A and B are shown apart, each in its own frame.
Chain A
């Protein structure tokens, strides 16, 4: 079985959110819904010693969509059997024919990946642009990134190429859902559970 996943390069990302908008455009999403979000994480302080200021402030960005986890909690909690993980690609999708819009998937996912469409009242989420991937193309967010900070491919190959990191603040620990994401850590990356920073762009998250 192939398992696809994303790579995110925190050393390249400038937080421009082209990935977010390309996805919104391609999937025709409303302003309130994003399948991909860019989190701005920052913190630190300025201190003055003997008249000299020094600082340990930091900011970095993390772009996250659905990680098509090995243990997807959205799937585990779906009472309808409407969420499935494709055996050939590892892509996690919602079947609108079975979904009843109850929102258990939304409640369970620690990455905020599934949403309920307010018009159709059905669950929806990133499907890794399965149609594009089937035609040999990249997901639209990967192709759109002007900094080439996103990559896509078979997750074992991504791990070989970029390493094994799958969690940094403000993401949750990877232990529970085993996300298929590979992260190149940004400068000043903080570990999961770090308490020196906070999400600075909460109102931009949809």
Chain B
């Protein structure tokens, strides 16, 4: 029986990219906002820890570039900005990584100007939103019936809202950001939990609407026979990640570095499972898979 496993496995670098980059960008925006409110040494520490979400996003983007057969032609991608969703995605990624990269470097300047730093951060945060939305919309193609649904972009944005706060908790923990042990930590976990509940709902609705679709070669259900189990795995892994962070806060000693990193890994693993399912699901309405 034809399943979509091979399709998804061939696109494993894109699975990785769409798992890491949106959560990385969301975590960056959260940590960036925390930095703008912080003062003195704390601001410096958070500013430096921004490297964590920056690198997570960068690793994702580099992974996505490896699926190109001819990366040397990659610059032509800018010729279609505004017309091809994929071009928009790459453009937003470059904008986000340039602004965040510049900010990260400039903060080490001996006489860094606060206004310039804040402006760069403002641009980076806006670009991170644009980037997440552009990744969410990058796969909209009218002929790919299993992807051409509102579930796809909504699920990707919710992915970022689950993974972003948890990754931000890890980054802020490494920066020893004070408010994390109080309300801010709970607020981030609540945001992530709410997004997880909503995202699970979206995946269930997607399953109910999309799995029954078929063309003359295959049905979506054949492509992703393990869809139900994958949603359960997603939910369990992400919930486990959130529980790890919560346990730390409940004990009143705050989240440890190790548990915040483990929580991020668990949540991202959960998102990875559903991104894999997404690529397994690729099917046009025609006579191609």
Contact = CB atoms under 8 A, between A and B. Distances in A.
Interface of A: 37, 39, 41, 64, 73, 76-82, 97-104, 106-112, 116, 120-122, 169-173, 176-177, 198-199, 202, 205
Contacts of A177: 143
Contacts of B86: 77, 79, 102, 104
Contact of B80 (A80, A110, A112, A169): A80
A100 B287 contact: no
Contacts, number: 120
Nearest to B7: A107
A101 B70 contact: yes
Interface in B63-90: 67-74, 76-77, 79-80, 83-87, 90
Interface stretch (B44-52, B159-167, B278-286): B278-286
Contacts of A76: 83-84, 141
A80 B287 contact: no
Given A76-B84, A108-B284, A112-B288, A97 B73 contact: yes
Contacts of B71: 100
A137 B72 CA distance: 36
B141 A199 contact: no
Overall SS of chain A's interface: loop
B284 A172 contact: yes
B68 A171 contact: no
B144 interface: yes
Given A102-B67, A112-B287, A79 B141 contact: no
B77 A79 contact: yes
Contact of B70 (A78, A99, A112, A170): A99
B141 A172 contact: no
A80 B288 contact: no
A81 B82 CA distance: 12
A3 to B, nearest CB: 21
B76 A98 contact: yes
Nearest to B10: A103
B37 interface: no
Interface string B141-165: 1111000000000000000000000
